[in-house]
Amino acid sequence: MTILLGEILQSVELWLKLIKKPQPEAFVNPNLDPVLLVPGVGGSILHAVSDADGSQERVWVRFLSAEYKLKTKLWSRYDPSTGKTESMDPNSTITIPEDRHGLYAIDILDPDLMIGSEGVYYFHDMIFEMRKWGFEEGKTLFGFGYDFRQSNRLQETMDRLADKLESIYNAAGGKKINIISHSMGGLLVKCFMCLQSDIFEKYVKNWVAIAAPFQGAPGSTNSTFLNGMSFVEGWEQNIYISKWSMHQLLIECPSVYELRGCPNFHWQHVPVLELWRERHDSEGKSHVVLESYPPFDSIEILKQALVNNTVNYDGKDIPLPFNLDILNWANKTWEILSSAKLPSQVKFYNIYGTSLETPHSVCFGSGDRPVTDLQQLRYFQAKCVCVDGDGTVPIESAKADGLNAEARVGVPGEHRGILREPHVFRLIKHWLKAGVPDPFYNPLNDFVILPTAFEIERYKENGVDVACLKEEWEIISKDQDDLSSNTTDKMCSISVSHEGPNQSYSEAHATVVIHPGSEGKHVQLNALAVSVDAS
């Protein structure tokens, strides 16, 4: 069945290409309100600038010599007196390039990479799409990169963002700004809204948060603290940065501690850190038990597991335990975030990812191989208890923004990949009233847009597998455009068949409707039917 459905989608995409009209050249619409794009953790190019001669090199992201540059330029130590993490290299300073009005730093994170490019594409597809709508770099389209190692409320970052908003406001001739944030960028914007509320209200018109961990990403961060993390997946990670080198970087980053999760949030399902451990009863007999530690209690486990963690820098072993000073700073950050209030003149929209298994709780060890030494946890492969989300942020966290939202939409998609989803582009275009309105846009039932990411849902009927397409679309919307068109819909019927083993035969049919004026981008896939003959 999966083969049939895949062929249906491929046939639809081929048909769309055949009827697609030539795309007009990019134009500039001077009437658009300006947009500022704010990335998440790891989503900004970082340069190391030599203090001696001012020369600079890109140290994040790069695939060539990536591990060496990470260790020599980005490994850092936290200074509790300032709340800032400082690079161990005393001879260089980390900066964020401002080329292309801040867009260069958040577009393609390794511009020199020729293969595996999707792994480092960040806002590239969105920038490309928005330019087609009429946005112009430096006039109505801007980017805000930042040192993602730092706290989301670091005063230096807050001051830079305030200056950025003022400069955009002036460049746009006094027009208020639409902020589009991704992932941890949502926490940064929310911190700014709390700490610089007057500036936020003065300059911001709309805020669209995408895949924001509004209450943290507890499963992913617990796993990161104990095992490290990979910034890219697939074969690229074999030539990139090791998980443990990333761990040694992130263990001193306040931003990662601020992703552990709000300590006062009332989870519907409390995230836990679980350990299979060997215990002895009063008679000395051993038995293996599964122990669960909720967020507050898990801190002691992290402390013991990392008590002897060190990093060798410049020939010296430097201790890097679980940092309680950073934890205290992060808890204060959550206090600030919990008190956030949206200014009455600002509209807020929330897009969150769905349909992927997302770490919520993590478990180490097993009944056959219990954990005997907490300091050996780094050598255990974590087993995740997953919930629905985008693969990184659980839906429960992403939806709990605590703000008066105009709309909250669940879009099937992966945490970073969601920035390339046509669903997301259409929502942003509609909310920001950018470009030519689509008269057939209806957020309540517009749930199939091709090409699209999809999930196959399987059933058992009469002893055979039957599959269907599954799309989740959750929305609260106050505004509907009431527009009409006099042109005719385009329709097409598609059928595919597949012969299986033991003379089995299956067939799928679909009817496709393309609404006029949408240039093949507003597509409804109707009357999808699958028949199976298992004889």
Report pLDDT digits (tens) over 372-424: 999 999 889 889 999 999 999 999 999 999 999 999 999 999 999 999 998 89
Catalytic choice (44, 87, 183, 298)? 183
Give the H/E segment covering residue 296: helix 295-305
Question: Three-state SS string across 163-191, please?
Answer: HHHHHHHHHCCCCCEEEEEECCHHHHHHH
Enter the tokens of residue 399: 């939806």
Enter the tokens of residue 512: 């496709």
Q: By three-state DSSP, how is residue 398 classified?
A: helix
Enter the tokens of residue 290: 């599964």
Catalytic choice (89, 390, 401, 438)? 390
Enter the tokens of residue 523: 């597509």
Q: By three-state DSSP, how is residue 153 classified?
A: coil
In angstroms, the CA 235 to CA 187 distance is: 31
Which stretches of the chain score pLDDT less than 70?
1-26, 113-119, 231-239, 435-535
Q: How many residues does the chain have?
A: 535
In angstroms, the CA 1 to CA 464 distance is: 10
- Give the predicted TM-score (pTM) of the model: 0.81
Catalytic choice (47, 415, 423, 430)? 415
Active site residue 415: yes
Pairing of strands 35-38, 273-280: unpaired
Identify which of 190, 182, 246, 188 has the alpha carbon closest to the alpha carbon of residue 220.
Answer: 246
Q: By three-state DSSP, how is residue 94 classified?
A: strand
Cα–Cα distances (Å) from 251 to 60, 247, 475, in that order, read 17, 6, 37
In angstroms, the CA 193 to CA 191 distance is: 5
Question: Three-state SS string across 111-132, please?
Answer: CCCCCCHHHCECCHHHHHHHHH
With beta carbons less than 8 A apart as the criterion, state whether 102 and 143 touch.
yes
Active site residue 390: yes
In angstroms, the CA 262 to CA 210 distance is: 19
List, in sequence order, every residue forming a beta bridge with 108; answer none if it has no partner: 121
Q: What are phi and psi of 67, to 5 degrees?
A: -65, -40
Amino acid at position 198, single letter: D
- Give the pLDDT of residue 460: 53
Identify which of 93, 182, 89, 80 has the alpha carbon closest to the alpha carbon of residue 419.
Answer: 182
Considering Cα of 223, then 424, then 111, then 87, what sign does the dihedral take?
A: negative
In angstroms, the CA 255 to CA 358 distance is: 20
- Give the pLDDT of residue 78: 98
With beta carbons less than 8 A apart as the criterion, state whether 50 and 193 touch.
no
- Give the pLDDT of residue 242: 87
Residues 6 or more apart in contact with residue 55 via CB below 8 angstroms: 49
Cα–Cα distances (Å) from 310 to 229, 306, 317, 513, in that order, read 17, 9, 6, 60
Active site residue 506: no
Q: What are phi and psi of 35, to 5 degrees?
A: -125, 135
Amino acid at position 37, single letter: L
In angstroms, the CA 177 to CA 219 distance is: 34
Q: What are phi and psi of 294, to 5 degrees?
A: -65, 175
Amino acid at position 262, single letter: C
With beta carbons less than 8 A apart as the criterion, state whether 452 and 413 touch.
no
Q: How many CB atoms lie within 10 A of CB 403?
A: 19
Identify which of 405, 212, 418 has the alpha carbon closest to the alpha carbon of residue 426.
Answer: 418
Enter the tokens of residue 367: 């009944």
Q: Which residue do the tokens 């597949």 mark?
A: 498
With beta carbons less than 8 A apart as the criterion, state whether 432 and 175 touch.
no
Q: Which residue do the tokens 């670091």 mark?
A: 154
- Give the pLDDT of residue 241: 86
Residues 6 or more apart in contact with residue 245 via CB below 8 angstroms: 67, 70, 71, 228
